[in-house]
Every structure is written in structure tokens, then in C-alpha cells.
A and B are shown apart, each in its own frame.
Chain A
Amino acid sequence: MSRYPHLLSPLRVGPLTLKNRVVFSAHLTNYAEYGKPSEQHAAYYAARAAGGAGLIITEEHSTHVTDWPYEKLIHGFDPAVIPGYRRITDAVHAHGVPILAQLNHNGGQASSMFSRLPVWAPSPIADPLFREVPKALELHEIRDVVDGYALVAEHCVAGGFDGVELQCSHSSLVRGFLSPATNVRTDAYGGVLENRARLLFEIVAAVRSVLGPERALGVRLCGDELIEGGTTIEEAVAVARMVDATAQVDYINTSIGVATATLYMIEASMQVPPGYAMFIPSAIREAVSIPVIGVGRFKDPVQADRAIAAGQADLIGVVRGQIADPDFVRKARSGSAQDIRTCLSCNQECVGRMGLNRWLGCIENPRTGREAVVLPMPTRRAQRVLVVGGGPAGLQAAVTAAERGHRVTLLEKADRLGGQVPVAASVPSRAEFLDITRNLAAAAQRVGVDVKLQHEATADEITADAPDAVILATGAVPARPWWAGDLTQVVDVRDVLEGRASPRGRVLVVDELGFHQATSVAELLADRGCFVEVATPGMVVGQDLGITLDLETWNVKADAKGIAQLTDVVPMSATEGITLTLQHHPTGTDLTRTVDWVVCAVQQRADDALWQALKGSLFPVHRVGDCVAPRRAHAAVIEGHRAAVAL
């Protein structure tokens, strides 16, 4: 008997029988090439099918030329996509897993940058993100929209999909019509809910008639837009009931938020508690007879199994969980759930890269986004590999090398593995970040890496040992800013988090990194009762938190904790006291702050002593991660993996 009896039990969804309840729900990947699905798409979905997902729903396929909000969108309306569709569906069906295509028109949540055409929406109300006034659809254009969905459904049938899902939530024309915030029409498509939902039902009817009975049709609805005057759960349940009543739809998928206003709740980071969106499927499930999918921060099979057991949903969307580990289901089924590379909900390389028009990756899985790039065959000759440093770079190098058949020893000078990760994760709201090295440490043990803790490697020792290859991953050390002098109360973030300094009273945090370092320490110190101000030379404190969707929660928490924020300032000098002089660079004026402590979130220095001593040795020496240049964790993982593959 499985440990996850609910999650791993089969379910009929319309004409399909799913082997389990885990859905790889729709998400952008930016893998499309010139509007067409790529080989990478096929390899990406196939990896999740091979890993046992119950159902795969692809990213959105645009249903009309007027819809082109970002560069790498699949132009579903172009018949040239069909061979690419076929490549995807064949690759996924080879593993016996059904796959649906998500159909969408983003409506007013778009710009004309790529289409060079007016953006279409129910009413001329500019989207909060794109800020382009759309053209209010005329009736003949609404017919074009409906025809577009039917056309793309035809392409999907021709391309071998088992059905389609209609995107009617976070970024879609249908959402725009459903929502009173964006639909102020006075004709048959505006006003009462029946009218606002008319487009949805016209599309359902048109698409169903293309699909016939042997293919599945799903509808993804937003349960709460989290915007002023937007759709709330009562209306969402009412729409769900109407959808069910058509008897043409096989399941309802759910979501929360609007992609261009409240994205941070759709793809919630670790700052948002797990299960936060389950009130939506719970409410809808009580009102309908068809299966309902619940989604949002499901990271392990236990949690998903419980949600089904509790009747919150029939199926669980595990998106980032399977981006991070394609074998999520296989590992759960085979009783090795502890081996799942749990998603951190860090949003750094999945969500974070999407907003920047880059291909989807994952901070802890160097293969995500690179599935179509075949790795060289592991070497026949096992080498004796020495890895120095047990942070993410060293761990990833050791794990990959061992997986590829090498004999690996890892030396770590501290008494624990993880490098700076446990330090970063020691702040309460960042605890899940620890999983990156916890997962890697577990993997290292599994694949037989010989880990030696509290072992500070020396150049002499390594030279004497003369391994077949050395990978240096010695990390970085805090660097003191030039203006800090030898003031003892000017310390680094790491001094605080590693317990070497305990600031009290008034604290100024200097943020030159624009990421979690400054905001984490600010929160921690505010929680300890300090009066905290964060100062940055940038225009915004924690600027890159915008990329990981943490800026909203940071600002709310900063306000609640009384943390002040000061922008556009550069430290000029610090004197005992401590009085810090800051230059406001836009105006060239100086201001001062007198505080008890200054905590610096500034660039670190590469710890490259071993590299300098060993480069040019008779055995090959590689370096990876922060000891090359101190950066973020994804760079460490990618470089560790790359160096090990190249051995």
C-alpha cells in the first residue's frame, strides 16, 4: 500500500484516466522559437512524463494574432505549430501520460510591442502592468476571438493533444470579461454575471464541438483576483457552477490573483504560507460535480496527499515542485520521497527568468531548461576527484561527478555542509532556502561522496595527494567597505547571521546587493527590537526582490516592523559614534545618520587562495561558484555541475 493512497490513486477526468492526481499545470517556459514549440519543449514535458506526472498541461498557446504580450509565445493560431505539437505529444505519450494544451488570449494584459496591433479587451481600461489602453472589442471581433479558440483547438487535435484547457484566470481575455474591474461594457457581454461569462460559454461550445467527446476540456478559473472591484470567491463559485452546468467541461482548474497585478500570489514565494490558495478549490468543489484542481506551493507528496484526503481538491497542481524535480511522482511512488529535490519556492530561476524573457530554469536543478541538450556520456575511466568546499557549488560538483562514476572526496572546513546557505536560511522567513543544500547533502550521501567535515584543505596536501582532478569551491569571504575603517560596530551581514555580532539599538543596514541579504537582516534585527533603516545607492531597496515576487511581502513586513527605507544614497565616511555620512547622489547633498551599528550587505571577496596556489598544477584544477566571483546560488550550482560533467 502506497504511503500516499489519495495522491497516487487513479482518477477519471472526462474521457481520460489519470494514473495519479499530480498535475503539471500550465506555466510559461520561454522555450518557444519564433512562435513555434521547440525540441526543448518536447524534452521538458517528456522528462516530467517519464517522472510519472498524472497529467501535463502545456504552457499557453495564443489563439489570435492580436495576442502577443511577450516575445516567446507559442502562436497556436499558426498551423506551422502542428509538427511541434506532434513532437511534444509523441514524447509525452511515450510514457503513457496524457497531455493537454492551454489555450489563451491574454486580452488587455499585453502590449502591442510585438504584434504591432491594438490590444483587445472588453473595455478600454489599461492593464496595471502593460499600461496600454486596449481597443474595446466589437461584436465581430468577439466572433473572431471565439473562432480563434476553435482554430487552435483544431491544431491541437491535429497535433495529438488529449484535449485543451481554457485559460480563464490570471492573464486572459476571458478573465477580463468575467471581472467587473475590467469589463464595463453595456452590451450583452457586460453587466450581470451571465453577460460577463457569455464569451466563456461561447468559447466552451466552440471548442467542445472541435474536440468531440473523446478529448478533455478544462477551464481554469480565478477564485480571487485580489484587486479592487475584481472577481471574488462568490462569483468564481457561481461561474464554476455555470461551467459545470454546461456538461461540456471535464474539470476545473483554479488559481488566485491577476498576473499583471498580483502575480506574487499566483507564484507565491516562500514568504507565503503553503496551502494559501486552497480555499478556492474547496469552495468550488462543493458546488460542482466535475473534478477540481488545487494549486499553490505544493512541495511534497504528503502535503498533496493530505489536501486530497481532506477533500480540498481532486487533483493537485505541482508546478515548481516538478520544475525542480521531474521525478517527483516516481520518487513518491517508489518510497523514496526523501530523495525528492524539493522546490525552495525561491522563484529565482523559474519565475525570475520568465519576467526577463529568458528560458525557464531552476536554481537547484541545472538540467531544467536544458533537457534537450544531451550530456556527454560519462567517462569509462573513473577518476579520483577532490572537491574543496561544501557549499552549493562544491556539493553540486561532487554529486554530479559521483553520479557520473567518479570517486569523489569532498573537503569542507566547517563542521557542516552548505556554505553560506544555512546562514541565509537562518532568517525565519527564508528557512525553505535551506533545502537547496539539504537536498544536495542528501544526494551526496546517496551517491557515495566521501565527505570530510572540519577539514581545511591546504595546497601542499592537495599537491601531495595529486588527485586526477581538483574542483575548488572555496566560496567567498566578507569584504569590508573602504569607508568602514576599523570601526568595530560596522559589521557584515554574515557577522550578524553567523553570530559574531549582535547589533542593538539603532541600526543602519547598507544595501548594495539589492537582494535578500539586506532585507533579511533588517527583518531579523527589527524582530530583535532594533530600530532599523535600510539605505541603498539604488532607486529601490531590495530591487531584485521584484524579480522573485518578494517585493510586496517585504514592503508590507518592513512597514509592520517599523523598518525605514532610504534610497539613492552612497556612504561617504563613518566616524566613531557611529556617524555615517551619506551622499544623496541625485542632488549631491550630504546627510548623516547617527546609529549604534552599521550592517553591510555589500559585495564579498572571492576566497581564491587555493586557486592561486594550485593553478598550473600537473593535475587539472577547476574552480566554481563564489571563489570565481561571488554571485548567487544558481551560478554555483550550474558551474559545479558543468565542471563535473566536463571531467
Chain B
Amino acid sequence: MLTESFTIGSRTAPSRALFGPHETNLGSGRALSDRHVAYYRERAAGGCGVLVVETASVHDSDWPYERAPLAADCGPGWTAIVEACSPALVLASLGHTGGQGSSAYSQQPLWAPSAVADAVSRELPMVMEDTEIAVLTAGFGTAARLAMASGCAGVEIEAGDRSVLRQFLSGITNQRADDYGTDKARLLREVIAAARAAVGDGLVALRLSCDELAPWAGITPEHALELVPTLDVDLLTVVRAGPYAGSAYRPDAHVPEGFNKALCASVKAVARCPVVLQGSVVSEAFASSALAEGGCDLVEMTRAQIAEPALLQKLRTGAAPRPCVLCNQGCRVRDARNPIVSCIGEPRSGHELSDALPVDGGSGEVLVVGGGPAGLECARVLALQGFSVEIREAAEILGGAVLDAALGAGRERLRALVAWLAAECDRLGVKVVLGHEVLAAELSSYSGRVVLATGASARDTGWVDARDALRGVLQDGPVLVHDPVGGPVGVSVAEKLAADGREVRIVTQDPIVGTLLSLTGDLADCNTRLQQLGVPRELKSLLRRASGGTAVLEDVWTGAQRTVPAAVVVDCGPRLPREELYETGMLRAGDCVAPRTILEAVLEGRRVALELGA
């Protein structure tokens, strides 16, 4: 069903998979760029059914992030995307983030229904008066007309994660005494009407938060069920998001696949239009069964198509798509640094114009030393290019450090990526030798080319290495997790050990745990989970030493020392490259160059393979 076409109003989508609107930072100024076009083109070519372009602000009072598209500047970009993306249906996402925006770029006050500060930015917005409301509604109309003139199949109105329309719908953010307060859906209806008047026979789609996860005043599923039948739209994407909902809109793998399924089915039962299931749907199996059960008509698979641009095409031909592992490490780019949207398993995503594709024509033998993500990706791409490839891996199984990382709480899905890489290598005829530690002498006698992907080793701290702890090699007694990095590892170790019933605490030099997780959206959540698990967070503290069942911690600001129970210390600090086999000039990739993340391993493994093929 997923791969079959589907008719929405006057238009037909080539498949039932939707590519949802998301921040890419690919823009040029506030316009859509060539990079956007290339990015969307690949997904359309891969069989995407409905492609919703990155949300454009309908008025310049909204400038939520530096490269946020502005509808008035998007005409040429929409046209180019439409031309590049046939036969996918291209919808222009139109929005205004209201009080959830940023004044940093516009240097103007934020607009919102009421003087309620956003929970994250703490910036107080200006209360919209009739003038601003009229401007906003007109802005949606003007933007929708431009989108249609640019060839779009229609528009999607944003009333989900960050939206002034949702803020009007919600009792948390709308405390107005006028008509827009007593009838909280009034503005949304007016905006839909304005869009409807502008699109002619085109589509008006809506992305609607049907649960703000704040039942005391926010939008609840009950509200949504009342509201939805009154709305004149052609397609409805059901999401959950709200001022206190944090990462709930597009969470990482700590939340199960397709978490909105029941909510979506209940909305579908009352909706007058086709309904899209959104929220961490990454597998064909889940999508197809959700469709078969009838609780939705289409499925949003955004991250799945970031990880695998050719998702639908592969499903049609029975090939295995590269899995999205819901890590949010490469694709969640709502960050002031403006990172480019990408994917740990498919680093070419977002870089379609600069990163080459494998070309056939390689010949000769290549030995890849190490079967972690760097080695596997290198071998895969070498094999694709026609090389005859052999991987020698010291362990009895392929996957490298990822296998251990995947033992951490909420990280199980990571295994799917190395499993896919290993299966692809197998399919492409890569020879794999397991349980074989390569020695320098062996390399000197090897006649073909060699690529090192030997990974990293633990630094010498005298403590238990995180990988060993994840594998369960841990003596009894209270555990202290030492996490100077603040990435996903330390948290997942602490959570796993706590879930295993161990007494655990985590120490960091930072004022909060998991500092680097702001990028994945798990920062607040991981601190919450640790507190719920009763894991004491030893914040703003350095681990000075540990012995005899206790550890000495030192306050980073004051230097004051204290002791905490610690029969075992697990070190989640940075690792060291394994360079034993390296000699100047050799090819290498991933952690053995510098221990980093899967993204760099895959990127470099592929780069080396492409260099050899060039």
C-alpha cells in the first residue's frame, strides 16, 4: 500500500509516503537554494508521494532561525523544486512561529496571542492586536497565491510544533478576552479560508497539534476531535507538540516508532479528509500495517527519507533501504550554529551538490582492516565501484564499537545501521574474515591496497571502559559514571545500569548532564529520565580520584571536595585512536584517525572508497 499512488482532491500522489517540512539550513539568505532543490529532487526521484518544503514564514515579523525561508523570497525556489520533483506532489509549508520565534535576526518584537513568554526562550512577545491579526491572515493568503503561481500542488498550513496558529488554539498561550480568545479556532479558520481562496483547485493541507501534552490548559485530543470536523482542509497531518512538549514532536529513539498511531486513528475517525500519520515512522513494516489498519491514509516518513533518499524505489524493487535509526544526530539542525541537515548513515544528505556518488570502474583488491561503520561503509562503496574487497575484523562479529553503543538505553536501533551495512557488503560480495586481528607483518606482505578502519581504544584511566560496562563486565557495588563528554554515551550507560538495578550516579563538569544532546533534542529529556530513575547527578564537578569504594569529586567553581560512594567508576570520556598499524601515507578512516561519531566514520569510510575509485 505504501508504494501505491493516492489521490488527494484534484491531485494524485505517486506514493503514500510524505516528506514533511523540516529545518535544513540549506537556504541562501531567506530564499530556497540550489541545495534545497537537489535535496528534494533526490527524495522525489526516490518515490516520495507528497513533499512538503521547509516551512516559509508568511510575514517578515517572523524570522525564527537565520536561514528560515521567507515566503516572499521563495517563489523561484518553489518553482525550481516543483520542476525538479515531478511526479511528487509539492506542497509549500506556510507558517509563523509567533511567540516561539526569535527576535535575534529581525530585532522586532515577537507576535503572539497573549503576553505569555515561551518556555524555552523566556522572551515575552507582543500581544497581537487587530492590525497584526489582519496582516497575518493576509500573509497566509499572499503566500499561498505565490506558492500556487510557482507551481505548487498546494500549501500546508503549520499549526503544529512552532506556530502562532497553535498558540491561538491553546489555552496556555491564548488568554485573550476578545473573540479570538473565546473562539480559539477563529484565527485558524480565517487563515484556512484565506488559503482556500488563494489556492483555487490546489490543496490546503494542515499540520495540526492534536495534543500539547499539557492537559491542564493546552490542546487535548478531545479538543482536537471537536475541532477537526469543522476544518475545511484537504489533508491533515496529526502531530503532538506544544509549549511544554519539548522534543515530543520528533523525538529520538527513546520513544517508540509510530507513537502517534492511536491518536491519529482517533482523529481519522472524525476527519473529513485524508489523514497523515506522523512521528518516528521509519520502517516499511510499521507504515504498511498502519495503512492496512485504516487509521491513516498516508504516512509521514521524513527521517526515513533523509537516511534513504530512494526509500520508495527500493521498497518497490525489494531492495533493503538504509535504515533511519532515530538518533537525531545528523538531521535535527534547529541550532544557532546553522548545521546542515544530514544523516549519520547517509552523510551525502544535505550535500547532494558537493558529494560524489560511487561510479563503477574500480578494479583490483582492497583489504579493509576493521569492520565497524567506517570499514563497512568503505567496503560497501568499494564493492559498489567494482573492487574486490575483503574485510578483516578482530571480533567475531561485524559492527565495531556501534554494537556496544547499541547496548546503551534507548540506543538499540543503532545496531540496525551496521546490520544494514554488513548485509549490503554481503550482497555485494565483500569477503569477510572474522576473529582475525591483523598484524603489521601481514600488511607488509599484502599486495593490494589497504584501508585502516581499526577504531579506537579506551584511554588509560584505570577505570572501567564504557564499552565494557555496556557489555556487563562490571563488579558489584555503587557505580559512578564519569561523563566529561556530555554526549549520548554517558547518559545511556547510566540509564542502562540503573535499569539493571545498579546504584548509579553520574558526574559531569557541566551544570547539566548531556550538554551535547541539545542538538538531538534529548537534553532536557535525559536529565528528566535520570532524575526519574533516581540517578543522582553530580553536576559542576570533576572526578579527582576513586579508591576503596568512594570517589572524590571537586566543585569546578569553588574547588570544594566531597566524596560519593563508588565501588566502580565507568569512564565515558574521549577515546584514543588505534594507530598500531598506521604508517605515514596509509589510507584510513573513522575513529582510528580521531575517535568521533558514526557520522564521521561513515563519511570518511566512503570518502576513502571514492578516492580509490576516482
Contacts and interface: CB of A to CB of B under 8 A. Distances in A.
Interface in A95-129: 112-114, 116, 118-119, 124-126, 128
Nearest to A112: B600
B105 A131 contact: no
A552 interface: yes
A120 B126 CA distance: 47
A11 interface: no
Contact of A133 (B66, B560, B575): B575
Nearest to B103: A635
Contacts of B528: 586-587
A131 B338 CA distance: 18
A586 B532 contact: yes
B333 to A, nearest CB: 10
Interface residues of A, number: 53
A629 B122 contact: no
B596 A116 contact: no
Interface stretch (A134-142, A167-175, A216-224): A134-142
Contact of B593 (A135, A513, A631): A135
A587 B511 CA distance: 19
Contacts of B126: 606, 628-629
A638 interface: yes
A133 B540 CA distance: 22
A539 interface: yes
B563 interface: no
A353 interface: yes
A131 B337 contact: no
Q: Is the interface of A mostly helix, strand, loop or mixed?
A: loop
B124 A124 contact: no
A638 B596 contact: no
B109 A539 contact: no
The B interface is mostly helix, strand or loop, or mixed, namely loop
A552 B511 CA distance: 11
Contact of A116 (B110, B558, B603): B603
Interface in A541-556: 544, 551-552, 555-556
A514 B122 contact: yes
B336 interface: yes
Nearest to A606: B115
Nearest to B354: A116
Contacts of A560: 558
A452 interface: no
Contact of A638 (B107, B486, B595, B600): B107
Interface string B306-345: 0000000000000000000000000000001111000000
A504 interface: no
Contacts of A125: 574
Contact of A513 (B107, B122, B336, B486): B122
Interface size class of B (residues with CB under 8 A): 35 or more
B576 interface: yes
B273 interface: no
Interface in B94-146: 103-105, 107, 109-110, 115, 117, 119, 122-127
Contacts of A635: 103, 107, 109
B230 to A, nearest CB: 32
A606 B126 CA distance: 9
Most buried by B among A124, A140, A587: A124
Interface in B517-563: 524, 527-528, 531-532, 540, 555, 557-558, 560
Contact of B104 (A112, A353, A513, A559): A353
B336 A628 contact: no
A132 B484 CA distance: 12
Contacts of A119: 594
Contacts of B263: none
Given A116-B603, A124-B594, A586-B528, A631 B123 contact: yes
A396 B49 CA distance: 54
Contacts of B66: 357-358
A628 B558 CA distance: 41
Contacts of A339: none
B555 A559 contact: yes
A206 interface: no
Most chain-B CB neighbours within 10 Å: which of A136, A539, A639? Answer: A539
Contacts of B557: 552, 555-556, 559
A586 B119 CA distance: 15
Interface in A139-196: 139-140
A135 B484 CA distance: 19
A134 B594 contact: yes
Contact of A603 (B105, B117, B558): B117
A587 B555 contact: no
Nearest to B557: A555
A239 to B, nearest CB: 27
Interface string B568-608: 00000011110000001000000001111000100110000
Nearest to A560: B558
A629 B125 contact: yes
21 contacts: A118-B600, A119-B594, A124-B595, A131-B516, A133-B576, A133-B595, A138-B584, A514-B122, A539-B511, A539-B524, A540-B511, A555-B558, A560-B558, A587-B528, A587-B532, A603-B117, A629-B124, A629-B126, A631-B103, A631-B124, A639-B109
Kindly list the 9 A-B residue pairs having the minimum CB-CB distance in the complex, ordered from nearest: A586-B528, A126-B574, A629-B126, A555-B557, A135-B594, A586-B531, A356-B336, A559-B558, A540-B511
